[in-house]
Amino acid sequence: MTTIDLPSSDTFAIFVIGVLAAIVLWDAFWLTKQTRDIPKLGELPNGGFAWASEGPQEVIRQWGNLFSMAAMMSLPWPLISISNTPIIYGIIWDILLSLHIIYLLIPKRYAVTSTHLFADGQRYEWKKLRLSKRQPKRRIMLLRKGWGIFGPLPVGGKYHDLAQAKQFMATVYEKSLEQE
């Protein structure tokens, strides 16, 4: 019978932390990009609307992700004790996830134009999005087409801003249906 040599716990911990660090850096890049993409808030020159959320609105928008991050912070600790992995890797893991939680809670900039939604530093074409049939009260829920269960794209902000954005989105969707 052949045996398989598994990597050491240190090697595996470094690999997993490297992947998480790459994700955290990637998200930080997109977070800094939002100010360049949406330099001005309010009515946009070519039509459209841009607004910013505040911390409490991001908590409402990201509540599911926040619970996921909390669960992920606790996951490595039983494994660390079982595998005799140095505790420093668990501490680094939790620091990286804490940074990611901070990124989730930082106020965001959003914009709607006739062709795109700008959210989380990214640009989404309207034809790749659709409004969810059931809308939550304190955010707008869009679904990314073809993403299945990974498709929800919540948009946050003050009630007035969301109402104005929703009205603009409805106009965009009506125009796209007329063109088809």
Give the confidence band of 74 by pLDDT, cuts at 50, 70, 90. very high
| Residue located via tokens 């140095």 | 86
| Residue 22 domain flag | yes
Tell me whether residue 60 is in a domain: yes
Confidence tier at 45 by pLDDT (50, 70, 90):
confident
Give CA–CA dist 163/99, Å, rounded: 31
Per-residue confidence (pLDDT) for residue 1, from 0 to 100: 67
Q: Which of 58-67, 87-96, 141-150: highest mean pLDDT?
A: 87-96
DSSP 139: S
Pairwise CA distance, residues 161 & 88, whole Å = 44
User: What is the number of structural domains in the chain?
Assistant: 1
What domain range includes position 23?
9-179
Residue 30 lies in a domain: yes
Q: Is residue 27 part of a domain?
A: yes
Domain membership flag for residue 98:
yes
In a domain, 168, yes or no: yes
Task: Kindly report whether the global pTM for this prediction surpasses the value 0.75.
Answer: yes
| Mean pLDDT, range 23-46, rounded to an integer | 89
Above pLDDT 70, what percent of the chain?
97
**How many other C-beta atoms are found inside a 10 Å radius of the C-beta of residue 174?**
10
> Residue 122: in which H helix or E strand, if any?
strand 122-125
* Residue 144 host element (H or E): strand 140-144
Residue 71 in any domain: the answer is yes
3-state SS class at 165: helix
What is the 3 state secondary structure string of 56-86?
HHHHHHHHHHHHHHHHHHHCHHHHHHHHCCC
Q: Is residue 113 part of a domain?
A: yes
Q: What is the dihedral of CA 144, 112, 38, 45, to 10 degrees?
A: 150
